[in-house]
Structures are given as C-alpha cells and as structure tokens.
Amino acid sequence: MTRFFVQPEDLQQDFLVLTGENAQHAKVLRLKNGEEVLVCDGQGKECLCTVSDVSAGQISLVVKHTQTSQTEAAVRVSVYMAFAKGEKLEHVIQKATELGAWEIIAFPSGRCVSRPDEKSLKKKLERWQKIAASAAEQSGRGVIPQVLTVPSYKAALERAAQADVKLFFYENERATTLRMALEKGSYQTVSLMTGPEGGFEPAEVDLASEAGLQVCTLGKRILRCETAPLCALSAVMYDSGEF
C-alpha cells in the first residue's frame, strides 16, 4: 500500500489533505477515488485512509482507522557511524533505515578524513534526513529514523553508553564476538558503533571500553566502514527475532 508521511499534528483528524510533495507523488501514482493509502506521522502512528477527492495539488482522504505501525522493529537500534566520505554515510543512512534502525548518529573520530564544517552541516543533515524519509517510505516503515550528529567522540561514547547493549566494533578485537555480547541478557535498546575509513585509534578503543562499551569483532575479515554497521545491524535484527 502507498505510504505518505505527514507532520504529526496533521494526523489528528477524521480526514486529511495531502499537499505539496505528497500531492505530487499521489499524482505520479495516479491515485483515484476509493483507493486506500497509509498516512504516517513518521513516529510510529499511521492512518489507513480512503481517497475521497483528487484535485490539482490537493488529495483529500477520509481516515478509516488509526493504528500503531506494524512494521517497526521490537528493539531500538542506534547506529553510530564515524564521519566517512559523503556517499558512504548516505549509503549507510539509506540501508540502515531499510534494515530498521531507530536512529543514525554520525560522530567525529581521530582518523576521519571527511568531516563537514559547521556551515555545511545543517544542509547535510537536511539532506540525510530526506534520504532516511525516502528509505522509510520505500521500505514501508512507520518511523523515519532521526539522523543526527554529535560534536565530539566523547559525546558519542556517552550517548551510546546509555543503551541496554552497547557495542563497539574493532578490527583488532579477537576474543569477544557479537554473539557473546548479545547473549548476556535480554535487551530493548542497542548501540552499534563503527569507525571511519582508517579505523579507530587504539586510544579510542580504550576510551570506548572505559565508557562502558563492549569491544567486539564482526569476524576474521576486514569490513569496509560502510559495510560493518549494516552487517552488525542485520545480525542484531536477526538475533532479536525480527526474521
């Protein structure tokens, strides 16, 4: 079923009007009176609606039923990815959204070769949020993951450490596997932290450990910085019973 995202305040009615980009999209899809669509607030609430009128730039809908999204993961996974070259970060935002991530946080670390300055960051965040919204729509999600940045490596660690399970992936770790880290008990929230193109510095690994993160491995092969978070996210979704 076609899915439109609107602002949360626009969902609190018995009927809805799609305008702007949503109306344009509806036009491309040639929506007709009587067809059913889903309108989501991007925060997990959605309305099953019937098209009642199609005009230029405006689609009117009657709300049939309001529900909590049925396609969200039971576990909230936060993907912490060190700043990487633009297309890699964008790739991870798109794919992590499809795979069900709750939020995506970009953070600076010592070996980041690419790090947007204050000026370009606002524009980039807007662009990244659009990528997440588009991927959420295509994959049928009810929540658009928030894409955000934190100003320092330390801030990233402190934020990540608040989850039930907080994992830090390091290519030189051999002893602790992801499975060992997940077997310690049940979990509702997970932080996954991965490094930039050049990997983490040894001192950063120590800091992560001190902050309470579990340093662990994703196996014997070296994964690229855009592959590691998606591999870890897929495995956590599998482990938590999503598929």
Closest approach of its own copies to the CB of residue 135, in Å: 9
Burial of 241 (0-12, 13-18, 19+ CB in 10 A): exposed
Determine, following the binding rule CB under 8 A, whether residue 67 of this chain makes contact with its own copies: no
Q: Are 108 and 82 in contact (CB under 8 A)?
A: yes
Closest approach of its own copies to the CB of residue 125, in Å: 23
Task: Kindly tell me which of 35 and 72 has the beta carbon lying closer to its own copies.
Answer: 72
Residue 91's nearest CA partner among 229, 243, 239 is 229
Determine, following the binding rule CB under 8 A, whether residue 76 of this chain makes contact with its own copies: no
Q: Tally Cβ neighbours within 10 Å of residue 2.
A: 14
Determine, following the binding rule CB under 8 A, whether residue 198 of this chain makes contact with its own copies: no
d(CA 172, CA 220): 9
Interactions with its own copies, residue window 89-108 (CB under 8 A):
95, 98-100
Closest approach of its own copies to the CB of residue 13, in Å: 27
Determine, following the binding rule CB under 8 A, whether residue 224 of this chain makes contact with its own copies: yes
Rg (CA), the chain: 20
Select the residue interacting with its own copies from 141, 144, 156, 172 (CB under 8 A).
141
Residue 193's nearest CA partner among 228, 238, 222, 224 is 228
Please give the C-alpha separations between residue 10 and each of 5, 38, 61, 134, in angstroms, as whole numbers: 10, 13, 12, 19
CB-based contacts of 117, cutoff 8 Å, min separation 6: none
Select the residue interacting with its own copies from 139, 146, 189, 209 (CB under 8 A).
139
Task: Kindly tell me which of 125 and 235 has the beta carbon lying closer to its own copies.
Answer: 235
- Contact stretch for its own copies (CB under 8 A) within 137-145, 154-162, 194-202, 207-215: 137-145
Interface residues with its own copies (CB under 8 A)? 70-73, 95, 98-100, 138-141, 177-179, 216-224, 227, 230-232, 234-235, 237-239, 241-243
